[in-house]
Amino acid sequence: MGLHQRYSSGRLKYFHTGNAGGIDYGTEASEVSTATADRKFVSIYVKSTCATGDARAIYARLNLAGTATAGYGDAIRSLGYVTGTGYAYASGAHSTLRIGTGATIAGSGAGLRATLEADAATRTLTGALAALQVDSYVGADNTMPTIHGFIRFSDVGSVVLNNLMVLPAVAENSTVFATHTTQTMSHSIRIIDSAGTPYFIMCTNAATNRGGGT
């Protein structure tokens, strides 16, 4: 594979002759393969006992510092590629927060956290921005199953969650959650339950008498 190692400032660095500064573990044309079940191709088990500060098992930072006209950038790109049949479960990325017996979280706890951040500046931000973007990219001639959607919610534990979402408190300043009166329903959003029954969330395209305006 042409994999080499080098010591620098007390750290062991790996690099590939065809991928400067990086690590190659197989290629698309020559995958590292096994027929053995319950195999982790890369395992990292770490533990932090510090009382303050941050701890991260993996930290990836990509600085997009060029002047790009049509470029892309991902600090982490994950692809789960299904070429077999009959898998009961498959995902591109699976993130879990597990709270052990006797453990406590004083602040926020989430299985997946998505943050949209912008440095302080007097400006109008550009682009279509979101803290979380969910895309579909289904090739032509496919037929979707009855139960499908951009986001799926399921309770798989013994204790179920009672709320679908947690929103900011009601505020009269054009926030996402404000009082709204007098409008009649003009649109609807289709959802479907796990039994295949469709339901519709009522919407309107007008904002008269909405708390704080539009």
Prediction pTM value: 0.80
Tell which phi-psi region holds residue 88, choosing left (phi > 0), alpha (psi between -120 and 50) or beta.
Answer: alpha
Residue 1 has what pLDDT? 42
As a whole number of angstroms, the distance between CA 109 and CA 99 comes to 9
Residue 19 has what pLDDT? 53
Residue 67 has what pLDDT? 87
Q: Render pLDDT for 119-139 as a digit per residue (tens, 0 to 9).
A: 999 999 999 999 999 999 999
Residue 187 has what pLDDT? 94
Low-confidence ranges of the chain (pLDDT < 70): 1-23, 213-214
Q: Render pLDDT for 164-204 as a digit per residue (tens, 0 to 9).
A: 999 888 887 778 888 888 888 899 999 999 999 999 999 98
CA distances from 83 to 80, 90, 102, 204 (A): 10, 11, 42, 43
- β-bridge partners, 19: 16
Residue 5 has what pLDDT? 53
Write out the chain in H/E/C secondary structure: CCEEEEEECCEEEEEECCECCCCCCCCCCCCCCCCCCCCCCCCCCCCCCCCCCCCCCCCCCCCCCCCCCCCCCCCCCCCCCCCCCCCCCCCCCCCCCCCCCCCCCCCCCCCCCCCCCCCCCCCCCCCCCCCCCCCCCCCCCCCCCCCCCCCCCCCCCCCCCCCCCCCCCCCCCCCCCCCECCCCCCEEEEEECCCCCEEEEEECCCCCCECCCC
